[in-house]
Structure 1
């Protein structure tokens, strides 16, 4: 079902209780969780024949190139986005004014163009450093740009690019009109290493962690702020969760509703000491992993900026995702909410 505005106050109340570990009808709280990060498994190293960021079969020769991370706009006037439906991973993060922005990654399926491209934010180095490869964005405050340039990633920046990798498209209004030639920037930098695996993947959706031991989940409702509600509805025919924003279906540029094989919700602290909120993606916190129509309560761990996110169940075992694309919702603990509907 689509996310409706009337649901938000109830969802925020349920989320507060869920973080305290209280069991609720229609809202799943975490079970007892480990207090130490699980040991990174051997699968953190790229495996020949398996897409590093998707867990699906891939020709090793076709995967011998870097990942491309791009900051993608999510204001109303920036939708529908270009190429977002083909991303392996999409991180959704809180920015100013209660809005959200994406840090999207392509590796197994790189489109010709992606966009609209927007500026970098203070949490992006922590989100993206573990992937290596390339990051593209349209600038940002000097301290944020400097922090990103100090990461292991090759920075490709609209404001300083003189190689023609970016262009403005006439059919969109500025500043929501910057598009990146994604396939070309990857092809120019094939000497960079492919990414390691951020998450672990099961052999099939039916053997993913959520499918085996999770609870049936027909819908996932999250709110990043009072003005940013998100919904994911399980579609058994599509074998995916279908996305909505603020009560409306969320479409890609081809007119197809955005979908995710896995929806991973991480509750995160947000540093609001300056006008630009900074998601704190380090340490650990509450998580929910949804795959194959079910959700498993978990704990997330991230030991350093260059370390991948680890997901552990109550016994401390690494949670396997279903093979396919994944959206990671970085929901604030202070002003956000999570509601799971059976």
Structure 2
């Protein structure tokens, strides 16, 4: 027989346990709700894991890496042929440089290739291209005035002399500078895993309004270069690429932005004025996807702001995938964009 005192203790203990469980149950419910709200505000659990430069789902692991977005400046003339490494870029931006030719800014983050190049110099235009994702520039160097402006913008530069850079003996200078991007990425590690902001407003095909048929594109930069595209087998194929066979950039979409072009304030070694793309403000936009074009406008409050896209009916979202961005001068500067069925 248990004593009365023992029965009292057991009863008290059971009562305390009952109250404790009830309290825990209440806390669990509150905690679940609170953690959901917290996750939503911080973007840790309630948001899907996607890559910032493509909008594609992360296949295991995390989109937060311990190196910044690496933006490599690549030559885009016949002398660069064959270009190496474009097939592994997340995104490419094509910009006007002196002499009416263009140069590429190839973005690497979700995949880091080995050898990439030819690596060429930076322009002031790159500030507006790189800063929205706090990217680091991989380059051969640049004019003193440009390097100063890029440094003042807080952009880190990796150039010849940094880990990974070398001269390819079978090519002639200045088209023989290459780099091992794996070594550059290692040198860029800061020990802090962080996911950059989305470069573009990502969505899906169902978000797109009805467009016009556009199986071919010609982006004319108003000088001696036009980039031609044809929609084939679900992607846009660059008809006059300098990439090595099998190493072409697989463009799911081509985004054309009409931009103002100013004067960078100095001449190149050949005496040509150096242009500067003004990648802020607003202008016309054309999104080419799945053989159609949707027309709208783009806006960017300042050089470091995210790109916003819209149509007359509202926001314009880009289907997740690999995007080639053409920064084509406005008509007053001689640029033009044409497309056909």
TM interval, shorter chain, is: 0.7 to 0.9
Deviation at 1:79, TM superposition (A): 2.0
Give the secondary structure class of the aligned counterpart of 2:230.
strand
> How far apart are the structure 2 equivalents of 1:178 and 1:101?
15
Aligned twin of 1:173: 172
**Aligned residue number for residue 291 of structure 2:** 293
Determine the structure 1 residue equivalent to 2:158. Answer: 156
Q: Secondary structure at the match of 1:260?
A: coil
Q: Does 1:216 align with 2:213?
A: yes
**1:124 Cα shift?**
0.9
Task: Say whether 1:50 aligns with 2:41.
Answer: no
Deviation at 1:63, TM superposition (A): 4.5
Go from structure 1 to structure 2 and tell me whether the alpha carbon gap of 1:116 and 1:294 turns closer, same or farther (over 3 Å shift): same
* Contact 2:88 2:249 survives alignment (8 Å): no
Taking the aligned partners of 1:62 and 1:126, their CA distance within structure 2 comes to 23
Q: Are 2:76 and 1:74 equivalent residues in the alignment?
A: yes
Describe how 1:92-241 pairs up with structure 2 within 5 A: 92-158=94-160, 161=161, 163-191=162-190, 193-203=194-204, 206-209=205-208, 212-235=209-232, 237=233, 239-241=234-236
- What is the CA–CA distance in structure 2 between the aligned matches of 1:215 and 1:75, rounded to whole Å? 31
Q: Deviations over 1:279-320 (max 9, x none)?
A: 1111000110111111100101011111111111112x2211
Following superposition, the deviation at residue 252 of structure 1 comes to: 2.5
Contact 1:251 1:258 in 2 (8 A): no
After TM superposition, which residue ranges in structure 1, 4 or more long, deviate above 6 angstroms? none
Say which structure is richer in helix: 2
Over aligned residues, Cα RMSD in angstroms? 2.2
8 Å contact 1:201–1:208 — kept in the other structure?
A: no
User: CA separation in 2, counterparts of 1:198 and 1:119?
Assistant: 23
So what's the TM-score if we normalise by structure 2?
0.78
Q: 1:314 aligns with which of 312, 315, 334?
A: 312
Q: Which residue of 2 aligns with 1:39?
A: none
Distance 1:198 1:256, change over 3 A: closer
Q: Distance in 1 between matches of 2:93 and 2:135?
A: 17
- Paired positions, count: 287
Whether 1:280 aligns to 2:278 is yes
User: Residue 222 of structure 1 contacts residue 339 of structure 1 at CA under 8 Å; is this kept in 2?
Assistant: yes
Structure 2 distance, partners of 1:69, 1:280, is 18
Change (3 A) 1:291 1:251: same
Tell me what 1:266 maps to. 257
In terms of Rg, which structure is larger?
2
| CA displacement 1:236-279 (0-9 Å, x = unmatched) | x2x1110123xxxx252244544311100011111147410111
CA shift for structure 1 position 151: 2.4
Alpha carbons of structure 1 residues 251 and 259: separation in structure 2 relative to 1, 3 Å? farther
1:70-112: CA deviation from partner (whole Å, max 9, x where unpaired): 1111121112211112211111111111110011111111111
Quickly say closer, same or farther: Cα 1:57–1:80, change in 2 above 3 A.
Answer: same
Judge conservation of contact 2:85–2:247 (CA < 8 Å) in 1.
Answer: no
Q: Name stretches of at least 5 consecutive residues in structure 1 with no aligned partner.
A: 1-41
> For 2:135 and 2:219, how far apart are their aligned partners in 1?
30
Inter-partner Cα distance in structure 2 for 1:120 and 1:262: 25
